[in-house]
Amino acid sequence: MSVVAPLPSRKLVTASYLLIAGALLLIMWQGLLPGLLCVCIGFLGTRWFARLFDAGLDRLLRARSRPDVADPPSSWSRIVAATLVSLAPIGLGILAFSEAREFVLNAPEQYQELLDYIARTVLELRLKLPPDIGAYLPEGTAEVQRIIAGYLRAQAGALALTGRAWLGGLLFAYVGLIVGALAGVARHASGGRPLAELLKQRITLFGEAFGQIVAAQFWIAAFNTLLTAIFLLFVLPHWELNLPYTPALITLTFIAGLVPIVGNLLCNTVITLVGLSVSPITALACLAFLILIHKAEYFINAKVVGARTQMGVWELLAVMFVAEAVFGPAGLVAAPLFYAYLKKELQAARLV
């Protein structure tokens, strides 16, 4: 005669919901969203690589005519996968530094060239604008450099805080990646603790929602990359305007586009600055196109994510606008994920 496990009490279920909701609010309040996203990436990435290694080892064993070994050592594959996920950012950082070394060494010359270019552009504007308006523009390279130095001096405190915030965000993100990788390796036997089991259910649903959002964001990044490639390879050359480093910019668009909203803003800024190095008209054309893409990102994101998570476009748009108003850009990034998780909880409870 089988024994049916007792259902958890209403107090325990409520406590599990409150703990998860409190943790998510604390993450948003303290600006730990990059760490949370990297925890999910580290966990899912470790499990994905582990399954990949398991499948490869299984094929290798079968090819060597060893059918007696049915299950490959999954603990070994998980350890290798966790190590790979944890060390990948360090390897990418070293590669990026080696590639950017020449750019850093040539930075003073490029800075002087940029100053000369800005001074020539400002001089052309002074000649074309009415004298009363042109008098407000700087007269040469020395004055442009003085204005830039004065602005940087005035904004030194804000720049330092911004740099500290970015450094802290990167540190939290890397620590979160390691935590997620270690969680992907860990094996926890069920001890029959009801609250722990309920929290595990909440976290599992959150992970499923994150996986759906990542899959949707992949297609959004691919769509943005396609539009950007058409613009850079066909539209601008049609107007006899060509941007340097076009293949690198297209690659950056896809990689940065995997990060919702913020990644799009990053590649928009880079492409506009590259366009400015060609001409002000090119920069304005890039800016206008990229602003259009950024505004369309709301609807593209809502449509694709809604299709993946069974959410209406109007639902996701409303949540994104409200979250941005409350938490700023971080809320805009978190809104699809948190709302997808909420919808999964409601569906699991058969309330919607």
Kindly report the pTM of this predicted structure. Answer: 0.68
Any idea how long the chain is? 352
Backbone angles phi, psi at 307, to 5 degrees: -70, -35
Q: Which of 342, 305, 92 is nearest to 202 (CA)?
A: 342
DSSP class of 192: -
Tokens of 129: 């604008």
Tokens of 346: 């409601």
Q: In this structure, how many other beta carbons lie within 10 angstroms of the beta carbon of residue 293? A: 19
Using CA atoms in the order 148, 154, 157, 161, what is the torsion angle rounded to 10 degrees? -50
Output the tens digit of pLDDT for each of the chain's 352 residues: 444 556 667 888 888 899 999 999 999 888 888 888 889 888 888 888 888 887 777 677 666 655 554 444 467 788 888 888 888 888 877 877 776 666 566 656 666 666 666 667 666 666 666 666 666 666 655 666 666 666 656 666 666 666 677 777 788 888 888 998 888 887 766 566 888 888 888 888 898 888 888 877 788 788 888 888 888 888 888 887 777 778 878 888 887 777 666 677 777 777 877 777 677 777 788 888 877 776 666 676 666 666 666 777 677 778 878 888 888 878 878 888 898 898 888 888 887 7
> Is residue 92 a contact partner of residue 177, using CB atoms and an 8 Å limit?
no
**SS3 breakdown of the chain: % helix, strand, coil, rounded to 5?**
85, 0, 15
